[in-house]
Structures are given as C-alpha cells and as structure tokens.
Structure 1
C-alpha cells in the first residue's frame, strides 16, 4: 500500500467578500453534529455560515451546513455535546451566510504562526521538581505572500475589510477536495517588497478570531 504524501500544490486560497444579513438562531442542540433551530433560514446543504452564539467556544466559528430542514440545519463536524462547555439552552444567537468569495491569486507561500500550548509552572514546598499544567494557547495568524497585482479583484476586498476593521472568512481549498475554513481579520501591506531580479510581492496577514474548521473530501 502506497502512503499518500500531502502536498499543497494546487491549493486555492479564497476570501469571503459578501455575507448575508444576520438571521436569528433560537436554539442549538448539545449534539454531534450540533443542530441549529432557525425559522425559515433559507439555507441549503453545503452553505457556509459564520456563527454568533451565546456559547463562547462557538462564537465566530465557521461551519458547513448539512441535514437541512425548513426550520433547522446541522453544523457539520461541530461537536457541542459536552454540557460542561456548552451550557444547555445557551447557544442562541445568529448566523450569516457566506454569499460570494474571491480567489486570492498568485500566492507564493502560506505559513501559520502561533497556536502553541502554554503551561503554568507550579512548585510545591514539599517537592524538589516543578510541575507544568496546560493553560491557554497563543493566538494564531496566517501570512500569505502574493505577487504584487494592485488590479486583482481580491485586493479591493481585502483593503475594504482592513479599512472597516470587519471580520471575514478565509477558505483553503485543498487538492482532492479538502476544505479549511478560517474566521478572522484580514489586511495587506500597502507597499510591495522590491529586490533586484526578485518578484515584487505584498503580504496578506490574517489573524484568527476563533478556531478553524477542517473538512476532508
């Protein structure tokens, strides 16, 4: 059996450029996947939604829609079954659907930083060795160098979000059909880097506002 080596070649990076008006969520179940109750929501299977929820761990998350009925839908791969983390009847809020997106073209690299687990170090008088306990994780961000192309359609979209300081969604469409959804804030450097005989580039920065959600093909 041949082991598949994951390569990023062929990946497409997109940014959401329009979101729908927010619609009310009256309830979210404690389940796997979570089921959202929203009267006449108008969604279809496969739609992408940005969530605003009374549950802090779900707030600002992005998810793909499945199991649609007239007044409910599932959040694919979203687990809210732990009632200690997701207080029953506490998830109500709203959602916005990603309406359109633009491809970020001529990407030369895609790197992440942050996300490292932090630890609290504790030393007790009766012991010679300190102990460590997991605490928070560092904030995550993405850096995307791109070929300088001021007339590319995505540039105005990114600069608009940067000026308005509004959040959006980054899509990473992987070869073979995998998908990563990343919520956060986006910006782009004003001036390109310029080196003799080197490609002129600008850098898009994306700061995560919540955890990403990944779907396999």
Structure 2
C-alpha cells in the first residue's frame, strides 16, 4: 500500500534530441536488449524508434551497455504476439538539455478514455445492443505555471513550442522515483489571470506513448 502526493515533484523538459543511433535488433526479453554499433552510456534517456508499433515512440533509460549492445531498462518485450520476433530494429535518440520547470501550481491529466463500437443484430428479439472496444482517446498533461519570463523554462518552452517536435518531460517524485513522458508540446506564452491571483502560463504535452516509471535507486 502506498500514498503518494504530487507535492514536491520536480519537472523538467528536454531541449535537445541527438542524432539517431541505429539499432539492428531488439530481443524478446525483460528487459529488452538492443544491438547497436555505438551503444549509449548507461543512464541515457532514450527516445525509441522501432518496427514494433507498441515500442515506437517510447522513452526508456539505457543500462548494461557493452561493446555492441545495451538494455532498455524497464521495457518488457517477451510477448511475441505484441512484439513479433525479428521486427524490432530501428534507432534510439538521446534526450538531453533538460530545463527545470518550477512554479508549477497544478498538473492535470485528460484523455485515455476507452471508446466503443455499438452494434445490434436484427434477429435478436431482445433488442439488446452490444459494445466492443475500439480505441482510447489521446492523453494530455496540462501544467499551470506562475508567469515569470525571467525563468529559464519560459524561453525553453517558447522554443520547443515553435519547433513542433516531440520532447521528453521528466518528473522526479518526492520519493526519488522518476516518470518519463514523451509527446508534442504546446506553450501559451501569453499569461492569463484575474483579480488577486497570480498570472499564469499553460504548458500542454500530448503523449505519443505510455509513460515509463523507474523506482528510486
């Protein structure tokens, strides 16, 4: 059993995504092992490109690097149904240049709701309708931040918004656990407010893949 508050969580956004490192194979294992001529250093935050659609666009840390391979920490690809053997090759890109985002007053998550196809058979005299799942709505994170154009994050978020390329957001929880998110950023640099409340900016991240969590070392 655990009770975790958001209080004390520190957020940061990546500003640099390095050139792609080719990955010639990814094993069906837990954790998955990637083969590469130039493995990234342990602890690197990686954006994964893969022939496996479920893995493509995922963020993970590298670990156990040797001369020609490394593990994707926390990534389980043992299911050959979800991850067909021999089809996981692609690349990884190292995310870096993280800029801390402070003065965050609220973080809201929206989306992820399941959608259904509803159908009914003519011969069913009960007139019963049935449903089966189709897809889930995209998930977005929305950060409210007290307006301060002198903060490093203000210019950094303007830049990533202009670039219109996905970024990594890192959340470090009070207990030391880390959650990594990857998605398209949007930043409204124009502050909004009302009487007797702080001016605020809004930063939104539209996720491209499920986040990944790492427990404190």
TM-score normalized by the length of structure 1 = 0.93
Q: Does 1:118 align with 2:115?
A: yes
Contact map agreement 1:24 1:38 (CA 8 A) in 2: yes
Q: Does 1:77 align with 2:78?
A: no
Q: Deviations over 1:53-78 (max 9, x none)?
A: 11111111100122222211111221
**1:170-209 to 2 correspondence within 5 Å?**
170-209=169-208
The structural deviation recorded for 1:105 is 1.1
Gapped runs of 5+ residues in structure 1?
A: none
RMSD (CA atoms) = 1.4
Runs of 4+ with deviation above 4 angstroms: none
Gapped runs of 5+ residues in structure 2?
A: none
Q: Does 1:66 align with 2:63?
A: yes
Contact map agreement 1:32 1:79 (CA 8 A) in 2: yes
User: Quick one: structure 1 residues 205 and 117, their matched pair in 2 at CA, closer, same or farther if it must change by over 3 Å?
Assistant: same
Contact map agreement 1:42 1:70 (CA 8 A) in 2: no
Q: Secondary structure at the match of 2:65?
A: strand
The residue that corresponds to 2:132 in the other structure is: 133
Between the aligned partners of 1:31 and 1:78, the Cα distance in structure 2 is: 8
Between the aligned partners of 1:58 and 1:216, the Cα distance in structure 2 is: 21
The residue that corresponds to 1:95 in the other structure is: 92
Q: Secondary structure at the match of 1:142?
A: strand
Contact map agreement 2:39 2:66 (CA 8 A) in 1: no
Between the aligned partners of 1:85 and 1:170, the Cα distance in structure 2 is: 26
